[in-house]
């Protein structure tokens, strides 16, 4: 049983969707945060944060945020800390911790980094989405201590049951 898995892959390949399916398939009490595209018609206008345990939703980044700018998006530091980081902190009371994602936007928050470090220090199983090219110290730590799986359009559906079974001890 592997209880620490990080998934990585190209943008838009379906990592977040796959992680949501793993959470549902695991049969475990899941906590943590999921980042989802915020869309208007067919255009992505930003990224939402979903607290998997409480259902709270906030904005990670969009074109109107007040925080650091990454590409055309600006981070919403209040929601990143108050929903994203808090969701990871609260996940320490659950059976499975999910962190989507450890990437450039999330890494602008010291509280988020600390929450992920606390989660890594816990004995709980974890599933992390890891930004493909991040060289941040936290990303390096995850790469060196987690099983890292590259997600592609060809394998993303096959990985759901495999990862859920591995994290829950059923495989």
This prediction's pTM = 0.94
Q: What is 4-168's CATH number?
A: 3.40.50.300
- Nearest to 26, CA basis, from 171, 143, 168, 130: 168
Q: What are phi and psi of 64, to 5 degrees?
A: -115, 5
Strands (DSSP E) along the chain, which ranges? 4-8, 30-40, 43-51, 57-62, 69-70, 73-75, 96-102, 126-130, 147-150
pLDDT of res. 107: 96
Neighbours of 71 (CB within 10 A): 8
Tokens representing residue 40 in the block = 């208007």
Domain boundaries in the chain? 4-168
Task: Specify whether the CB–CB gap between 80 and 109 falls below 8 A.
Answer: yes
CA distance 142 to 156: 20
Task: Specify whether the CB–CB gap between 79 and 60 falls below 8 A.
Answer: yes
pLDDT of res. 169: 82
Tokens representing residue 114 in the block = 């600390």
User: pLDDT truncated to tens, each residue of the chain (171 aa)?
Assistant: 569 999 999 988 999 999 999 999 999 999 999 999 899 998 989 999 999 999 999 999 999 989 999 999 999 999 999 999 999 999 999 999 999 999 999 999 999 999 999 999 999 999 999 998 889 999 999 999 999 999 999 999 999 999 999 998 875
In order, the DSSP letters of 40-61 are ETTEEEEEEEEETTT--EEEEE
pLDDT tens digits for 30-47? Answer: 999 999 989 999 898 999
Task: Specify whether the CB–CB gap between 52 and 34 falls below 8 A.
Answer: yes
Task: Specify whether the CB–CB gap between 75 and 68 falls below 8 A.
Answer: yes
Say which residue the tokens 């620490």 belong to: 4
pLDDT tens digits for 2-12? Answer: 699 999 999 88
CA distance 35 to 23: 14
Say which residue the tokens 């998006």 belong to: 73
């Amino acid at each position: 049983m592997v209880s620490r898995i990080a998934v990585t892959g190209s943008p838009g390949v379906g990592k977040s969707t796959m992680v949501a399916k793993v959470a549902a398939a695991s049969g475990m009490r899941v906590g943590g945060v999921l980042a989802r595209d915020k869309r208007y018609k067919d255009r992505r206008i930003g990224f939402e944060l979903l607290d998997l345990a409480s259902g709270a939703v906030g904005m990670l980044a969009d074109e109107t945020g007040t925080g650091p700018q990454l590409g055309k998006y600006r981070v919403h530091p209040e929601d990143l800390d108050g929903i994203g980081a808090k969701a990871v902190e609260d996940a320490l009371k659950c059976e499975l911790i999910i962190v989507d994602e450890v990437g450039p936007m999330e890494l602008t928050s010291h509280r988020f980094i600390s929450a992920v470090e606390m989660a890594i220090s816990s004995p709980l199983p974890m599933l992390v989405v890891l930004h493909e090219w991040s060289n941040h110290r936290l990303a390096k730590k995850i790469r060196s201590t987690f099983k890292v799986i590259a997600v592609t359009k060809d394998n993303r559906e096959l990985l759901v049951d495999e990862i859920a079974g591995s994290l829950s001890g059923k495989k």
